[in-house]
Amino acid sequence: MSFENILVENEGGISRITINRPDKMNALNKGVLSELKVAIDNLLADDNLKGAILTGAGDKAFVAGADIAEFANYPYEQAKELSQFGHDLFDKIEQSPKPVLALINGYTLGGGCELAMACHMRIATETSKFGQPEVNLGLIPGYGGTQRLARYIGRPKATELLVTGDMIGAEEALQLGLINYVLPTEEALEKANKIMGKVARKSTLAVGRMLNLVEDYYSKDKNGFANEVEEFGRSFETEDFKEGTTAFLEKRKPEFKGK
């Protein structure tokens, strides 16, 4: 499938997904969200893909927010539908059994910050900035921002950023635990590739189960500790576990098959 708003390149078991609207600071519109959903669905359906790196075109913005001109005149029901679509898509990313790493390059605001927070890991360039400035429009975040921001950086600081609309730089985001690394542009790309290259060599079953269990920790409807016990036991029944332990004892690299 050809896309108009995103670019997708698959190599070495990793899908590189680039939001490609640099003239609009990669702002999210319905086209971007719809195509991103297809790309994530393809990632989940392709057994050859072990994970994804999600980024924005250019060096000014990962995603500088939503395309305000597109939704400024939405009525109540249409606005709710937009929010629900975003929630469903970002939940799909967050709950994916294949890790998605956000490679953040510049402004990461509003829906862009929400998208980055839905990813499992985040690497930012030194000039990146983060924020949920929706309050400046008399609005609130619509894609999970009020929940995920509090989850990652704690209630007091999240509340401050949400009600003021202020931005924070990459170093502060790192100190708050919002991102994994802050690096120069070339090193950030190298680090993202290195991490996902490691992931591609691991057991997809084990990786997927760990991602699900980490997600369970944040769910009020699931007992992550009990589920970890169950999934640990199930892991012993897999071919990948037998291969991993055998390779360890034989002092060689394992060759996992995802079974």
Residue 122, both tokens: 């985040």
Q: What is the DSSP letter of 109?
A: E
Residue with tokens 């991602």: 211
Please identify which of the residues 9, 35, 94, 134 carries the catalytic annotation. Answer: 134
The distance of Cα 55 from the centroid of its chain, to the nearest Å, equals 10
- Do 15 and 9 form a contact (C-beta atoms < 8 A)? yes
Angle 148-154-157 from CA coordinates, rounded to 5°:
105
Q: Identify whether 114 is a catalytic site residue.
A: yes
Which residues, 6 or more positions from 83, have their beta carbon under 8 angstroms from its beta carbon? 142, 143
Task: With H, G, I as helix, E, B as strand and everything else as coil, classify residue 185.
Answer: helix
Please identify which of the residues 114, 126, 172, 243 carries the catalytic annotation. Answer: 114
Residue 174, both tokens: 């790192």
Rounded Cα–Cα distance for residues 71 and 79 (Å): 8
Range 26-46 burial, b when 16+ CB lie within 10 A, else e:
bbbbeebbbbbeebbebbeee
Q: Identify whether 172 is a catalytic site residue.
A: no
Rounded Cα–Cα distance for residues 9 and 7 (Å): 7
Q: Which of the residues are catalytic?
A: 114, 134
